[in-house]
Amino acid sequence: MKDFAGRIAVITGGGTGMGRELARLLVAEGCNVAMCDVSAANMAETKRLCEAARLPQGLRITTHVADVSDEAQMQRFRDEVADQQATDKIHLLFNNAGIGGGGSLFTSTREQWERTFNICWGGVYLGTRIFLPMLVNADAGHIVNTSSVNGFWASLGPTVPHTAYSAAKFAVKGFTEAMITDLRLNAPHIKCSVVMPGHIGTSIMSNSRRVQKGVETDALDQNEIEQMRGRLVAGGVDVSQLSDDVIQQMVAERARVFLEEAPMTAAAAAKVILDGVKAERWRILVGHDAELLDGWVRGAPEAAYDPEFHARFATEAGWKLG
């Protein structure tokens, strides 16, 4: 699929980040887009940005509120796409939605853990399962599943447990690789790709907390403040003089740095992804840090979880967050 003009793309998590930028680039190429997200306001902004460009006559951009971990909501999303896009087929499926959280089996609640896993993995499975018939109906199709470097390296550093997100992203990677054969045998006109971004500038840190907690504020509650203190202590930081307000400011600054000082923007990442789809690459590493880390983990898998490995890699990659 070298040309997206006139095609129909479905994007989950289209309200912010890479989902938003994928929508903007696809629309700019003349592709119809149907996106879902849990935030109608964020999707409205994505649609506004798409429409700010001069669109080809008749191009359709539709927005749909849906939680990708909920099968009934995803089925409703599919039915709305068929109705509002006036089609029984789609050509591109971007299973992009994801959140963080639920890092530990010890300190995170089961609800937090499963919320992350069910969105990051369950959303990919349900998206593929539910939209597969519409892809089969098309003359050509491509499924694009967003994993992460945490789909081959289950770490955020030696002081931060990262089990739910990593387990989900490993599942996404394995599922996509297995789909290569399944599609070749049963629907050879459909291709698939697994996307493994490194540090991309998105709002996933603040978005994750809002989805996990069901809140609209970025202010931490007391339990979250104490958890952050514990992480700082584990990292060797003296917290005896840190007030709650200072902890709040530290978390806000970390989210700002993650978004604004990332080595790659979401827009640049979206271009890499679409270039990979056009080239029919099944494995799309996004960012120099992702390419570098892939080589490091393959070269020394037994050392990949040693504290020294993370410290050396973070320095080499220029990561500002541990």
| pLDDT for position 11 | 98
Which residue is it, tokens 């008749």? 58
Which pLDDT tens digits describe the chain residue by residue (322 residues)? 899 999 999 999 999 999 999 999 999 999 999 999 999 999 999 999 999 987 878 899 999 999 999 999 999 999 999 999 999 999 999 999 999 999 999 989 999 999 999 999 999 999 999 999 999 999 999 999 999 999 999 999 998 899 999 999 999 999 999 999 999 999 999 999 999 999 998 777 667 766 776 767 777 777 777 777 877 777 678 878 888 888 878 777 777 776 677 789 999 999 999 999 999 999 999 999 999 999 999 999 999 999 999 999 999 998 865 4
Dist CA 315 CA 311 (whole Å) = 6
| pLDDT for position 182 | 98
Residue 18 lies in a domain: yes
Which are the contacts of 180, defined by CB distance < 8 A and separation ≥ 6? 192, 282
User: Maximum Cα–Cα distance for the chain, whole Å?
Assistant: 64
Residue 232 lies in a domain: no
| pLDDT for position 199 | 93
| pLDDT for position 206 | 67
Residue 241 lies in a domain: no
| pLDDT for position 213 | 66
CATH number at residue 45: 3.40.50.720
Residue 3 lies in a domain: no
Dist CA 164 CA 210 (whole Å) = 17
Say if pTM beats, i.e. exceeds, 0.85.
yes
Residue 223 lies in a domain: no
Look at the alpha carbons of 241, 245, 246, 250 in this order and tell me if their dihedral is positive or negative: positive
What angle do helix axes 204-213 and 244-260 make, rounded to 10 degrees?
A: 130
| pLDDT for position 54 | 76
Residue 217 lies in a domain: no
Cβ atoms of residues 90 and 134 within 8 Å: yes
Cβ atoms of residues 12 and 172 within 8 Å: no
Which residue is it, tokens 């796409």? 81
Residue 147 lies in a domain: yes
Domain with 166 in it: 8-202+264-317
Dist CA 120 CA 96 (whole Å) = 8
Residue 235 lies in a domain: no
| pLDDT for position 224 | 75
Look at the chain and report how many structural domains it folds into: 1
| pLDDT for position 55 | 80
